[in-house]
Structure 1
Amino acid sequence: MNINKSQFTKYVDSNNTWLSKSEIQEFSFTDYGIKPTVLETEAEVGKAMLNELYSTAELKEGDINIALLGGRGAQELHRLLGEIAKTDEQDALLARLNVFTQDALAPMGMGNSLSFVRDFERILGDAFFKKIKSFTPMQTDTDDLEAALIGYLTKMEELGGLDIFFIGHGPEKNHASHLAYIKPFSGAKYHHVAGLIPISSSILEHHISKFKAGGSVVNEKDEKECRSAEYILTLGPAAILQAKKIVQSVVDAETAPAKVQTYANVLNTQLSSDKEELEQQLNANPGLWIRLHSNTKSFVLPNLGL
């Protein structure tokens, strides 16, 4: 892999650092809206997500590049993939997969039990990682997070970008939301492919609680290291908008009831026809970025009240 920092331009907004490709292409801010698909169970959501992977595999030859979703949203998908990997029924498909993570806490050891990588390994299992073509996580144990992030982006670029961005929906204050970890008022623009965002103690507390509730066994050393993390590494709006397909899942409104209102706001907010005003809306509520993608599936449960 040839890492060329000159291919990227750095932007700093307050304490948020964003990276863009040096050659910025124009983007048409077209609102495609969202038409959520309500399914009865989390297992059905997992199957629907898996079927989106199968449909992409049928339509495309060669490698398939995907970004895994961390946390609760894709655990059923990951469980299904893990079971499939224990058989030989989809070995040909698994061998085509280039798998990327989409966000991470940093700095933090890659072996920390509170990292998304360890959670993926726990649910997907050894067989999955042995059979896929490649796995590229965001590096969190380096003295130069920016250079490591550029290396990650370079590999994704060389492989042709994401075919599927599996994405969630995170609630934020004032009935706003985040995608990946694009936070409200972090200054994310349409051409930003990834960023380094300062982390808050409340986010760390939520992250730790979520992992413990999800079944991760956490030791005192790992928890202490996690609490000392300073940044969130995240893919940016450009990575979302340039993915060939977005597959969203929202399954945990019972334990995160704020999602009922924040998801409704993403569905129902009137987006401004004025570009400057629209950019302000997207900055205040990054969950809205998903409405600017023309090929989005959003699988949700009835507990969102739709």
Structure 2
Amino acid sequence: MNTSTTNLIKDQANGNSWLRLASESTARFTDYGITPTVLETEEDVGEAMLNELLATAAEKDGDINIALLGGRGAQQMHRLLGRLAKSGERDALLARLNVFTQDALAPMGMGNGFSFVRDFERILGEEFFQKIKSFTPMRTDADDLEAGLVEYLQKLESLGGLDIFFIGHGPEDNQASHLAYIKPFSGAEHQHVAGIIPISSSILEHHISKFKAGGSQVNETDEQECRAAEFILTLGPAAILQAKKVVQSVVDADSAPAKVKTYAKVLHTQLSEDKSQALRQLDENPGLWIRLHPNVKSFVLPNVGV
């Protein structure tokens, strides 16, 4: 990030709160498109994502800053990282990692079994968290969620921003999609680094059912607290566009068949050369933000249908 997060300004749009950089951004709206890489299995996708991390480690010295992806999209990569942590084969790499989360339900206790943090711990394993340089989750238990999010952003900025933004693809109505949790008509713009978005009952139901099906250790108390969550904390378009590399995975089109059409729409929709029209397209379908990044790897399975 090029501007101090102490100079963040809050914007309100359709009930959403966005934090933007105080300086005027001169972001160029260049549509680079997407060239998906079709792989046969989820294990192949996990290995491809890990290879992108290894490539970054070979290309630069010092720390490596990454945003972890939750859900099925990156679970195979997480399993591979967990095995490496147990084996000791890549301890030098792990010691360079500053790991960040990219979205979270709030308010909610950090120990809640429906938190992505608990899911990361379950799959990555204790050894992984002992060996990495740092782990910075979004604070979902802060008395002031906005102040907690600013503190998170300050940590990310102090480390030089993200080297890799591991990201997914979420289906929305009208064949639209979300990235991180930048949702349609949430008013997100290119200078917004993070946001606080009101949650919907459908998102809560999807989140709870996904965690139960995935084998997370949860209980009734955790579920009640999760159902009381009011917001989603999310990184915004600026965090995505400023990352040095974006690595996307889409592996669950069988269980989420809407992704077939929503991914195809992102793949084939060209952004307008008129900036105001392009902004309308991005607000209607935030999955399109990925087309504005010059260094994207999009790993998908054959069931996505591309």
TM superposition score category, shorter chain reference = over 0.9
Q: CA deviation at 1:7?
A: 1.7
Moved over 6 A (4+): none
Match of 2:176 in 1: 176
Given that 1:6 and 1:22 are in contact with CA atoms closer than 8 Å, whether structure 2 keeps it comes out as: no
Give the letter for the 1:127 counterpart.
Answer: E
Q: Kindly indicate whether residue 204 of structure 2 is the aligned counterpart of residue 210 of structure 1.
A: no
Task: State the Cα distance separating 1:217 from its structure 2 match.
Answer: 2.3
What is the match of residue 135 of structure 2?
A: 135
Aligned to 1:25: 25
Q: Distance in 2 between matches of 1:13 and 1:219?
A: 35
Whether the 8 Å contact between 2:33 and 2:270 is mirrored in structure 1 is no
Q: Distance in 2 between matches of 1:197 and 1:88?
A: 40
What is the rounded CA distance, in whole Å, between the counterparts of 1:188 and 1:131 in structure 2?
Answer: 36
* 1:25 positional shift: 2.4
1:5 CA drift (Å): 6.5
1:80-95 equivalent positions in 2, closer than 5 A: 80-95=80-95
SS where residue 234 of structure 2 aligns? strand
> In the alignment, which residue of structure 2 is the partner of 1:196?
196
Structure 2: gaps spanning 5 or more residues: none
* TM-score between both structures, scaled by the size of structure 2: 0.98
- Residue 146 of structure 1: how far off its partner (Å): 0.3
Residue 73 of structure 1 corresponds to which residue in structure 2?
73
When normalised by structure 1's length, the TM-score is 0.98
Paired with 1:150 and 1:6, the residues of 2 have a C-alpha distance of 8
Separation of aligned partners in 2, 1:302 and 1:203: 26
| SS, match of residue 140 in structure 2 | coil
Residues 273-288 of structure 1 mapped to structure 2, 5 A cutoff = 273-288=273-288
| Residue equivalent to 1:222 | 222
Unaligned runs of 5+ in 1: none
| Whole-angstrom distance in 2 between the partners of 1:5 and 1:294 | 24
**1:137-175 C-alpha deviation (Å, 9 max, x unpaired):** 000001100000000000000000000000000000000
**AA paired with 1:41?**
T
* 1:242 pairs with 2:242: yes
CA shift digits 1:62-103 (9 cap, x unpaired): 000000000110000000000000012100000000000000
Contact 1:199 1:232 in 2 (8 A): yes
State the percentage of identical aligned residues.
74
CA contact (8 A) 1:38 1:302 kept: yes
| Aligned-partner SS, 1:138 | coil
Residue matched to 1:265: 265
The code of the aligned residue for 1:91 comes to D
